[in-house]
Structures are given as structure tokens and as C-alpha cells.
Structure 1
């Protein structure tokens, strides 16, 4: 039997996944930063004690550091986040969305998911964002009315989606393009920190905008701050145009364009935040600049930047497809939770702890625990005449 080889790349991958610096990891292991670098570049192999500390600090199974993941061609990750979000916080999420896509590939061996269904847009036509949004609505057959649940819509169109606790309030969502075994995927992870259905609608549409408008292999590190702002604005413009189609939204908003109380009614209908609708109305020319500025001041004064009216009436819609797939397999005895984790490790080179997998797949905590049937092997038993006596007393 061949001895398994330590995979130093997994040290770096796991360290970035957890947001831990080389210095922090070195201090935790009680070694030098140079030694961590040697581990990551396969120039040295950790001792048993160091490996044990790695698994504890980075919170990955020992097998994780001896595996070679299935080949995944990964595009850049587009974030719905503040410009102040640091590079470290962004880097932490790159492999999270990749791991989700690997799980999708495994599940597709057993479950039929909708295929990724998007029209082909000519590159020179992407500049007209209003037209692109309209064409996508037409292609998907959703008309010009409100999108009642964009998470559900994208899952029916083959997008891979999850919703998790990111522990980072500056990131609302992120997504990226992947290719596994020649198949194309686009995966989106939503943050659970801001639990507003209406804001989530826009977050998802923003990520959809990146998929439609922007090159999946564009090197974002090469962009200037102004160029980065531009692609973010394009994604925002697409989200607004897709969720609030020009003609039908204008027809509604022009009834009372400057009355914030009226926007509460529009929020119920269009399933989009008041802030996003006011911005859309301004950009469409339904309200003047002075009216827009006054409305923005009113929104701030009333505290609507954090929580808007009606936010509490609508339950946040989390992704369902991946969760349903696992439940189908387990409830119908195709495999146990342990077998799922084993296949993820052996077939796709990805060993993760159960709770991490459950979170990425939107499963209830503990769902993948495999219950071991209790086999009773009694040492003693009732005598035959005792059983007879009991039966006679019952007659």
C-alpha cells in the first residue's frame, strides 16, 4: 500500500479559509513563519504533534491535509460588499464557494437538478443594461411584474446557491464561476447576517448581474478603484432593472413618486427595499434631484438605513435545492450521512467536518449524523412458564 503524501497546498488553503495569517499559525504551532512557508510549499512535513495542532487550529480533519481535490477551474469571486471590505475578508470566501460547487457535483451523480439556463448575450450588447435585463426576463418567461422570490427563481435556472453565517457584516453575498469535469456552474453564497427578505432580493440580483455582465476570469486585482466601482455599479444597475422593469415600475411609482408612505405599498408589491426603489425612481427620472436628496435625508432620519418598515413581515427565503437533494438521498436510503461525507472525501478529495458540510448545504444541525441501530443481545431471558403465567392472567 502506497504511503499518502502530505499536501502542503492544503495548509495555505485551510489557513486562508479560516482567515489566519502565517504569523498566527506559526504562533499556534510553536514554529517559525519560515517553517509554515515550508509546509505550504511542500518543503517540509509537519511532525505528528504539529499535524495534530494544524487540525485543531484550522478545524479540518487530518485527511484534508493528505488529499488532492478534484480539479476545479475557478473564476474570480464577485462580492456584494462594501468597498471597505479588506482583501483578507474576501479571500476567506473563495474556497467556501468552491467547496459548495464540489458538493453539487457529487449530488448530481444521484439527483437531477435544473441545468444552468442562460441566454447567450453578444459582448457588444452588454452595455445596454436595461435591454439585457429585459431580454433575460423575456428568456426566462417571467413577464414584467414583480419577482416574488429570486432565490427560488435562480435555483430553478440551475444556479448553485447557499446561505450561511459569514461572521462578516460587510459582505452580503458573493458568487463565482466554476468548471468541474467539463461542466459549467455558477455558485452564489448569501450571508445570513442581515436577515431582510427585501434586501436579499437585491443582493441576489446583484450577483446575477455579475454573472451576466462580467468576465468570470477577469483579474479583479488588476482593476483600479474606479474600475472596481464601475463594475459594482453595473451590477447594481442590472439588479434594479431586473427587479423593477422600467415601464411597469414607472407606471406604479409615478402615481405618488415623492411620497415615502406610498413606497411602503410598492414594497409589498415589488418585493424590493424602499431604498432601492427610491434610487430606481430617481435614475428613471420619476423624481428630481432635490426631491431625491430630501427623500434620502428622510430615510436616514427615520432610521431606515438599517431597518425599513415591513422588513419583519416577510420571512427570508433560504436556498432549498441542495438541502432537498441530500434529504432525498438520506430519506430514501440511498446513503447515510457518513457515506455522503466518505464519498466527498474519497471521490472528490474533500474531507470536511460534518457541521461544516451541513451549514454549506443549508441542512439542520446534526442532520448528517448516522444513527446506529441498537442491537439488544440480552444475557438473560424469561423462562417459558413465566411467559405462560402472564398470558393466563390476561385471559
Structure 2
């Protein structure tokens, strides 16, 4: 049966790669009106045009003829939301959706932790501080430092991935999804910052969005002031979660005005010096004048981009999805080819192998199935075997 070209998939793939209609039209040598017709199923690309599309957008041909399983997606919240343009945000929407589809497929084979997030929908809190404390209590974290928040969220059932994002204004983003009636929350982290301590805050910020904000909030309808408000709330939550008020105050109050002391605190609390100085100011441990002086000093030292200790602690990468694939392949439950085939045929998502490896943090080529030969193709001629036996005799 002849399949039909899916114009919505062309639009999805184009946005995924960050191309405008005009840019794709230029690559294909057609008008932008024709691209619009393709995307709205008013026209079908020729074979030559389709080959160019697959090469430019880097998706297999099947991708443009299929429809993925139904995924109900909420709003995508971005770290550094204000500085992230609409085009850059739209590029990531399907990236996090595809990651969630792959997770749903892996759950057919592997037991992951169930999503465990405290529900505050029927509770009113006057302060973000109290919400952060409730999360700590629910997860039995006490008042101790969180040594690895990426690992913590994976143990709580979050889908977490780390990708090289082309736009450097994006530190992290996350959104809620529903697949076959099951709720997921997926977070993608930019892996170009190379600071364990900054990543800690990025992840806590994304958790703040999940805990504090309506997952179906239409971000495009928000004003600039509303943007700033939800960003500030997520930042305040992250600071309160990573640096609990009473225990952090006890520590910072010993030498609150000494930046070198914050270097020692950084080792304990696993949070950047910049974030701790801000937290100390908001908790009243330092005055506004001292805070401004410390901020100027941080700038003069170049700590806005690179702080002390950033080089000596490795960035923590997500492991659960990677472990799941390795568990299946190394134990011969599935081959790389079978993995890709199932994703395509059962979930309606044909991707290049390299794309899936990147999404899951696998080594390049890991999903490539090696062909093994179990029998000899050639054999010794009968007359040579006979001559050999005669010489031995």
C-alpha cells in the first residue's frame, strides 16, 4: 500500500533543525510557497526534492511518511527564559518529546523509577522557601548538601538527557508529557557549560518549574514581566533547595564577607560561589553594600564565566537511559538495528542512529549492529585433502 507524505512531519523536522521556510526553500531551489504547500499537504515533494530534504534535515525518508504515537505535551520551560528567542525555543520542543518517546519504548524492557514529585496543587504556600523545604522533606534529604542533583532526579523518575545545544543562551529546558496515559517529566541539559556547580543550579531550576508552575501554561502568552516572575520563582526555589536556610546560614555566617571562604563552602554545598553570594544576601547574611562589592570583585576575577574549582570536578551526566540501552544490548535482549526498527514501526519515530545515540548520551556507533559470521564461506578442495592424506600416509 502506497504511503502518503506527511507534511506536518516536514514542518516538525524543519523546526527541529532551526530552519525557516525561506531557508529550506533556498536549499531545495523552490519557492517558500511550495514549502508551505508541502507542509500543509497541498503538494508532494518530487523524489529529488525528498532526497534533498533528507540530506538537509538529516532525517531518514520514513520520518516524512509516518506519524508518531500520541504524546500530550505541556509547556516547555527554559533556564534563561528571557534571553532565549522563540525560534530557539521551538527548536527544542520536539527534541524533548522524542526523548520521552524513547523512554516510553525502553520501559517495555526495563524498570525505571516511577515519577515521584510532591503534589502542591491543593496547597497554598506564601513563600517558595517553604515549597523547597517540603520537597526536601518528601524526599528525606534533611538539611544536608545535595551532592548530585542529576542522579537524584533520575532516582525520582525524571527523564534527563545532556545534549550539545547550538544556542548558548539555553542552559536547560524541561516539559511534562503524557504517553499512553502515563505522566513523564523530561529535562534536557546543555553540556557545553562544563561546570558541575552551575549544572546543579540549572537542574534545580528546572525542578522548580515542575513543582511551582502549571505544566500547561502558554509561555508565548506571557508578558516580559511574567517571564521574569516565573524565572525568579524557579531561581529562588533552586537556591532554597540547594542551600537550605538554617544550615546554610550557620555555615556562611562564620565569614560572610570573605570570598575565599565561599570557595570552601563551594566544596561542601556543591553550588557556585555566585549563587551562594546571592543566597547569603537574600537571607540577610551580608548587607547590600557588601553584596555589591562582592559582585564587582567576582566580575574583576573573571568568575562570571569560570570560578575556582570548576576544573577539578567532573560534570555529572545522566545515566539511567544510557544504562537501560547498554543493559539490553550487552545482554543480547535487542540489537541496535532492532532497537531502531522498533522505534520506527511501533512508535512512528524514524531517526538516524546518530540522533538517538546523541539523545541518550551513547558513544557514537554504539547502536550499530555488528554482523558476525558463524560459518566458513570457503572450504579446502577435495583433491587437496586427498593429497594431504596420501603424503601423511
Instruction: Indicate if the aligned counterparts of 2:161 and 2:189 stay in contact, CA closer than 8 A.
Output: yes
In structure 1, the gaps of 5 or more residues are: none
Q: Distance in 2 between matches of 1:254 and 1:9?
A: 57
Cα displacement string for residues 20-66 of structure 1 (whole angstroms, at most 9, x for unaligned residues): 00001111111111110011011111111111111011110000000
Q: Distance in 2 between matches of 1:300 and 1:388?
A: 89
Aligned position for 1:229: 228
In the TM superposition, residue 313 of structure 1 has moved relative to its aligned partner by: 1.1
Q: Distance in 1 between matches of 2:155 and 2:22?
A: 44
Aligned position for 1:249: 248
User: Structure 1 residue runs of 4+, over 4 Å off?
Assistant: 387-390
Cα displacement string for residues 54-100 of structure 1 (whole angstroms, at most 9, x for unaligned residues): 10111100000000110000001000125232111111000000000
Aligned length, in residue pairs? 390
Instruction: Go from structure 1 to structure 2 and tell me whether the alpha carbon gap of 1:234 and 1:379 turns closer, same or farther (over 3 Å shift).
Output: same
Q: SS at 2:171's partner residue?
A: strand
Q: SS at 1:75's partner residue?
A: strand
Aligned position for 1:118: 117
Aligned position for 1:380: 380
Instruction: Go from structure 1 to structure 2 and tell me whether the alpha carbon gap of 1:140 and 1:385 turns closer, same or farther (over 3 Å shift).
Output: farther
Kindly report which structure 2 residues correspond to 1:56-95, keeping only aligned pairs within 5 A, or say none.
Answer: 56-81=55-80, 83-95=82-94
Instruction: Indicate if the aligned counterparts of 2:146 and 2:242 stay in contact, CA closer than 8 A.
Output: yes
Q: SS at 1:112's partner residue?
A: coil
Q: SS at 2:355's partner residue?
A: helix
Q: SS at 1:348's partner residue?
A: coil
Aligned position for 1:283: 282
Q: SS at 1:185's partner residue?
A: strand
Cα displacement string for residues 239-269 of structure 1 (whole angstroms, at most 9, x for unaligned residues): 0000000000000000000100000000000
Aligned position for 1:367: 366
Cα displacement string for residues 281-329 of structure 1 (whole angstroms, at most 9, x for unaligned residues): 0000000000000000000000000000000111101000000000111
Instruction: Indicate if the aligned counterparts of 1:167 and 1:193 stay in contact, CA closer than 8 A.
Output: no
Instruction: Indicate if the aligned counterparts of 2:81 and 2:231 stay in contact, CA closer than 8 A.
Output: no
Aligned position for 1:211: 210
In the TM superposition, residue 105 of structure 1 has moved relative to its aligned partner by: 0.3
In structure 2, the gaps of 5 or more residues are: none
Kindly report which structure 2 residues correspond to 1:1-395, keeping only aligned pairs within 5 A, or say none.
Answer: 2-81=1-80, 83-374=82-373, 375-380=375-380, 383=385, 386=388
TM-score (norm 1): 0.96
Cα displacement string for residues 214-256 of structure 1 (whole angstroms, at most 9, x for unaligned residues): 0000001111000000000000000000000000000000000
TM-score (norm 2): 0.97
